[in-house]
Structure 1
Amino acid sequence: MGEGIGLNTNNPAGFWIRFGALLLDALIVGVPLVIISLILTGGSGDEIYTNIISFLYTLLLPIFWNGYTIGKRICGIRIVKVSDGLPPSLGTMLLRNVVAGLIYGFTLGIAAIVSATMVGAREDKRSLHDFIAGTEVVHERL
């Protein structure tokens, strides 16, 4: 138990740093994926491979890379479990990405707007998908 309970809870990452990490992930990972997809499919509009790789990136990289994606690492923030401050597990990331994604889709994006508002307004900066998965996004410790 190297991290310990609650070591990161007083340093939550806010809206703009999380948004910046998301933009960096889109630029560094998303744009090359779209270009490769266009080359492989000849521009047929079939984005299934891009969607699968993007999904696996956001699902698996935080599990294997201590709560980071490339954008989060550059911004100095990471995903941790609220219960113990450790990086997320596969079950945690499935809740965070799949279950929350379904909720965002079923509400036609209204829940995503509520979630972004929560990150901006709440003291703990936790979003809807953080509550669903029991996670938080924190600044890495110096």
Structure 2
Amino acid sequence: MKEPAGFWIRFAAFLSDGIIVWIASVLLTLIVYGTLFNTPRELTNMLSLLYTLLLPVFWAGFTLGKRMLGIRITKMDGSHPGLLAMVLRVIVGGLVYGLTFGVGVIVSAIMIGVREDKRAIHDFIAGTQVVYD
């Protein structure tokens, strides 16, 4: 079993992915609307959803941020996550975090920090883990 990735490396990958999605949104806004400003929030949200949901399915558990930092999402048996696992992880996990008004996010951060396996709530929902590659 590979070493689980801790809080700070996962947080850095999350921030990196956010910057990447933001840049893509701004560039797409420039192409479609001819301006660098006033990027529609819906566009950014849709790009972010598709990026976090589909890229790990097609790229063996990596997003660009995770790849840069040498970590990846895997299923508990070490295999690559499929579409169902990513739907559970991103959409159902996101619903849990929203329904708990963010308390679930705080609990997940603590879980990653203190649990030996470094798994968060969305990892348990989806049967996934984040490990060093």
The question of a shared fold, defined as TM-score above 0.5 by the shorter chain, is answered with yes
Runs of 4+ in 1 over 2 A off after TM superposition: 36-46
| Match of residue 26 from structure 1 | 18
Number of aligned positions between the proteins: 130
Unaligned runs of 5+ in 1: 1-6
Pairing 1:1-142 to 2, within 5 Å after superposition: 7-8=1-2, 11-27=3-19, 29-36=20-27, 38-39=29-30, 40-41=32-33, 43-44=37-38, 46-82=40-76, 84-140=77-133
Confirm or deny: 8 A CA contact 1:12 1:136 kept in the other structure: yes
Residue ranges of structure 2 left out of the alignment (5+ in a row): none
Deviation, 1:48, is 1.2
Root-mean-square deviation (CA, aligned residues, Å) is 1.5
User: Which structure dedicates a bigger proportion of its chain to helix?
Assistant: 2
Q: Structure 1: which amino acid aligns with 2:70?
A: G
Aligned residue for 1:3?
none
TM-score by length of 1: 0.85
Give the C-alpha shift of residue 38 in structure 1.
Answer: 4.8
Question: Structure 1 vs Structure 2: percent identity of aligned residues?
Answer: 52
